[in-house]
């Protein structure tokens, strides 16, 4: 395909509930969207980088800057571009996987729409709906936590994930397990612990959890392997898995039993599928993580999760959990604990142009 233009659009999406970070309270998400146009089709991508570099070293302003200064010139210089060309073309620029993933996503969407192929088919999907889990953040009190979990259970989510950190771990997990019985339950530490906390984390074994996600810092692979010999709860890696190769290494070291695959974190959906293939080959369950995406990213994640390597419920919750109104005409919803996998060409979803224009804060258009 010949790329005519690449549009970088910033939007401010109002949040249903404030989002707390170490930098303060956010009432809206600042999101970078990518729109690729060709003579025959257009495609959309979504950059999952956050406002601040708190999940990874990437952040949304930096993602736009690296696209404009370094990544877009590589794409335009190529002339005709297929999706499989994108990663090799951008490889000379080190890192910046979320920025690269957004560009690859937009090119892939355009390519699939042009050829009439669905995202799910391209990702190896075999089902028309996938189970939906939900992530619950750290709250002020245990009663607030129980009330929040009850609401999500009533909404039909089939798995609950609790964020934990030192000082907010054993007691809240015990309270949720006691109140909600054998509901599928897991915890996410976001690298908040060290190997010195191994015996403390072993107390979580009593609660029959699906997994403990990313308990230690992302580069502490050997330490995760040691922790796995101390605790019975399966170890899941998130931030540590940045490529198919890193996934292979972690599996061979015994550092991981379950893999959380986030396409933005690993550089795109093509690499995400490679990681899924690695997991399947090693009989390691995978699941699809979320980054508070709009309907674009949620549609792509639902399609990815239709691949049989994704054996556990992912964080593909209803759009309404975060946004009162989405930028797509058919937002993701949860029915009987599952979300429907989009079936149309490309992402299988259409932009709500009127609302998109309403929340747009800036647009820059680039040509080769």
Task: Name the residue range of residue 44's domain.
Answer: 5-117+350-367
Tell whether 146 and 125 lie within a shared domain: yes
pLDDT at residue 243 is higher than 80? yes
Residues 216 and 239 in one domain: yes
- Does a structural domain hold residue 316? yes
Residues 55 and 135 occupy one common structural domain: no
| DSSP H or E stretch at residue 219 | none
Give the pLDDT confidence of 306-337 residue by residue, as tens digits. 999 999 999 999 999 999 999 999 999 999 99
Mean pLDDT of the chain: 96
Is position 331 within any domain? yes
CA distances for 294 relative to 53, 105, 173, angstroms: 20, 14, 29
Q: How high is the pLDDT of residue 18?
A: 79
In a domain, 273, yes or no: yes
Residue 236, domain CATH: 3.20.20.120
Q: Are residues 134 and 97 part of one domain?
A: no
Q: Which long-range contacts (CB under 8 A, 24 or more apart) does 279-283 make?
A: 279/247, 279/309, 280/308, 280/309, 282/248, 282/251
In this predicted structure, what is the pLDDT of residue 193?
Answer: 98
Kindly state whether residue 34 falls inside one of the protein's structural domains. Answer: yes
The pLDDT, as a whole number, for residue 180 is 97
Domain annotation covers residue 345:
no
Instruction: Give the C-alpha separation, 11 to 356, whole Å.
Output: 8
Res 365: pLDDT = 97
Together in a domain, 179 and 261: yes
Higher pLDDT among residues 19 and 83, named by residue? 83
| Domains contained in the chain, number | 2
Q: Where are any strands of DSSP class E within 171-256?
A: 185-188, 212-213, 235-237
Q: Is the pLDDT of residue 148 over 80?
A: yes
Please indicate, yes or no, whether residues 111 and 189 belong to a single structural domain of this protein: no
For residue range 258-274, what is the model confidence (pLDDT) as tens digits? 999 999 999 999 999 99
Whether 196 maps to a domain, the answer reads yes
Kindly tell me if the per-residue pLDDT of 251 is higher than 90: yes
What does the chain come to in residues?
A: 368
Which DSSP category does 203 fall into?
Answer: G
User: pLDDT tens for residues 162-203?
Assistant: 999 999 999 999 999 999 999 999 999 999 999 999 999 999
| Same-domain status, 125 and 100 | no
**Looking at the structure, do residues 47 and 134 belong to the same domain, yes or no?**
no
Question: Any idea which of 76-85, 173-182, 278-287 has the lowest mean pLDDT?
Answer: 76-85
Q: Is residue 187 part of a domain?
A: yes
Residues of the chain with pLDDT > 70: what percent? 99
Mark whether 227 and 335 lie in a shared domain.
yes
The predicted-structure confidence for 16-34, as pLDDT tens digits, reads as follows 987 777 677 888 999 999 9
Q: Is residue 127, in this structure, part of any structural domain at all?
A: yes
Residue 139 and residue 223 share a domain: yes
Alpha-carbon distances, residue 329 vs 277, 326, 332, 350 (angstroms): 32, 7, 10, 6
Residue 191 gets the label, from left (phi > 0), alpha (psi -120 to 50) or beta, of left
Residues 325 and 195 placed together within one structural domain of the fold: yes
Q: pLDDT-derived band of residue 47, with 50, 70 and 90 as boundaries?
A: very high
Q: Are residues 79 and 153 in the same domain?
A: no
Read off the CATH number of the domain in which 46 is found.
Answer: 3.30.390.10
| pLDDT one-digit tens code per residue, 101-144 | 999 999 999 999 999 999 999 999 999 999 999 999 999 999 99
Q: Report the catalytic residues.
A: 163, 262
């Amino acid at each position: 395909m010949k790329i005519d233009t690449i549009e970088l659009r910033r939007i401010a999406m109002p949040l249903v509930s404030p989002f707390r970070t170490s930098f303060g309270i956010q009432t809206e998400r600042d999101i970078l969207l990518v729109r690729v146009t060709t003579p025959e089709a257009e495609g959309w991508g979504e950059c999952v980088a956050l406002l601040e570099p708190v999940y990874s070293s990437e952040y949304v302003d930096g993602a736009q800057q690296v696209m404009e200064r370094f990544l877009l010139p590589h794409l335009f210089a190529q002339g005709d571009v297929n999706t499989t060309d994108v990663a090799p073309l951008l490889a000379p620029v080190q890192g910046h996987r979320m920025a690269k993933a957004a560009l690859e996503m937009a090119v892939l969407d355009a390519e699939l729409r042009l050829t009439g192929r669905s995202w799910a088919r391209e990702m190896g999907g075999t089902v028309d709906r996938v189970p939906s889990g939900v992530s619950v953040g750290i709250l002020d009190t245990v009663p607030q936590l129980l009330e929040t979990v009850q609401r999500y259970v009533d909404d039909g989510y089939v798995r609950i994930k609790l964020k934990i950190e030192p000082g907010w771990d054993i007691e809240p997990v015990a309270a949720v397990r006691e109140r909600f019985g054998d509901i599928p339950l897991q915890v996410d530490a976001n690298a908040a612990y060290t190997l010195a906390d191994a015996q403390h984390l072993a107390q979580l074994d009593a609660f029959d959890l699906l997994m403990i996600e990313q308990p230690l810092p992302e580069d502490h692979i050997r330490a995760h392997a040691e922790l796995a010999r101390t605790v019975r709860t399966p170890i899941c890696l998130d931030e540590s898995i940045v490529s198919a190769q890193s996934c292979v290494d972690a599996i061979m070291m015994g550092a991981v039993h379950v893999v959380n695959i986030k396409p933005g974190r690993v550089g795109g959906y093509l690499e995400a599928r490679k990681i899924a293939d690695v997991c399947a080959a090693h009989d390691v369950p995978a699941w699809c993580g979320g980054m508070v995406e709009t309907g674009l990213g949620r549609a792509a994640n639902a399609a990815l999760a239709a691949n049989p390597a994704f054996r556990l419920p992912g964080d593909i919750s209803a759009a309404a959990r975060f946004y009162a109104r989405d930028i797509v005409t058919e937002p993701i919803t949860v029915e009987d604990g599952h979300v429907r996998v989009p079936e149309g060409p490309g992402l299988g979803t259409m932009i709500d142009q009127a609302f998109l224009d309403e929340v747009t804060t800036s647009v820059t258009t680039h040509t080769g």
